[in-house]
Amino acid sequence: MVAVVSFGQKKAVNDAVKMSKDAKPNFTEARSLIKGALVNAETKDDPKTWFSAGQIEGAQFDQENTKQLLGQQPDDKAMYSALAEIYPYFKKAYELDKLPDAKGKVKPKYTKDIKSIMKANMPYYLSGGAYFFEQSDFKKALDFFEQIVEIHDGPIMSEDRQANEPVDSVYIYANYYASIAASQTGDSKATIAAMKRASKLDFKRNEMYKYLAAEYQMAGDTANWESTILEGYSIFPDDEDFITNLIQVYLYTNRNEKALEYINTALSKNPNNAQLLDVAGRIYETGYKDYAKAEDFYKKSIAIDGENSEVLSNLGRIYFNQGVQRLDEANNITDTKKYNEEREVALNFFRQAMPYFEKSFKINPEAQDNKIALRSIYYNLAMDDKLAEIEKSMNQ
């Protein structure tokens, strides 16, 4: 009875493969037959069973792919879904095929065919990933790209690879697109793993370092955020984005001296970077309360880009805040002469601030800070008409 059952399962394996290769193949029935053999005690440890399961999936892939090669319309979903199932079966078949027999000898029967089929199919895995990516099924897309990586790095492909053999382009692209697909799944761990691999390969490498750094930033991993940017900067020192991102790291972690160090490095290469000049101004204004240096950097930024409403407001604020401070000090003076002198100093600061806030307001009339500052300036300078206009704007 045992012999009969064993023979029946082995026959089912042969029948399943034959059924998938008929002129009119029945893939549903073939899969049903092979699944029984995959769990049966008599056949589940036979490499032929697993190899046959992969053959069935390969038969459907080949059928649809042939249509494509002949200029006909294939069933893309069926074609690529079948392709995705080949490697898991072949992987198990390969492992069993490498086990020693009863005499302790390893005599693989299917390894050569497995390697040949996997090598021939590799480019199609990229197409499969692209297909599911276009369908917004990012997990399936990621699975395709990750299969390429696993096949390439695993023993099926790597054991015959020469030490100085160049990295296959399919593998390089797979790592890159795996990173992109993973980032769409919302799985931060998978995304970081894929991006770390891709950042070591010579394809859009600087871009990948930036993506990886951004992923660490979103994950709140400040240490790896910084180390990734530093590593990218060491490889691509002429890419200003890395310096900009380092400055962002140091501002975020309140390390103003380090931020200024890299700002100065960036400005030595590009002294006309209005954005960096503005950032330096903010550091001196808020971090060190050094209004003179802040004023100098803001003025340099405006000289390059005089239409930036935010920088105009920043410079206006330098004068405005000093005016408020001096006015408060004046209000504590009892001597009328000294009071008037100190008040005039405060009003001069307001007069200096006014044109910058007015221009910023003209460029960006929705910015509430500009309106608040201008109302205070017009009030203190007794500019009633202007005060009425700005209050009307604030009430609209």
Instruction: Say what the pLDDT of residue 5 is.
Output: 47
Q: Is residue 186 part of a domain?
A: no
Q: What is the CA radius of gyration of the chain?
A: 35
Instruction: Say what the pLDDT of residue 4 is.
Output: 43
Q: How many CB atoms lie within 10 A of CB 393?
A: 15
Instruction: Say what the pLDDT of residue 3 is.
Output: 44
Show Cβ contacts of residue 189 under 8 Å, excluding neighbours closer than 6 positions. Answer: none
- pTM for the model stands at 0.81
Report the C-alpha gap between 13 and 33 in whole angstroms: 7
Split into its structural domains, the chain has a count of 1
Report the C-alpha gap between 307 and 300 in whole angstroms: 13
Instruction: Say what the pLDDT of residue 173 is.
Output: 97
Q: Is residue 28 part of a domain?
A: no
Ordered mean pLDDT values, 10 residues apiece, the chain (396 residues): 56 92 93 94 94 97 94 96 97 96 90 95 95 97 96 91 88 97 96 97 96 95 96 93 93 94 92 94 94 96 96 97 95 94 96 97 94 96 96 89
Return phi, psi of residue 271, to 5°: -70, -10
Instruction: Say what the pLDDT of residue 7 is.
Output: 56
Show Cβ contacts of residue 377 under 8 Å, excluding neighbours closer than 6 positions. Answer: 320, 323, 350, 353, 354, 357, 383
CA distances 328 to 322, 331, 347, Å, are 10, 5, 12
Q: Is residue 339 part of a domain?
A: yes
Q: How many CB atoms lie within 10 A of CB 299?
A: 14
Residue among 256, 254, 280, 251 nearest 268 (CA): 280
CATH number at residue 351: 1.25.40.10
Domain, as residue range, for 288: 271-396
SS3 97: helix
Write out the two tokens for 220.
């709140």
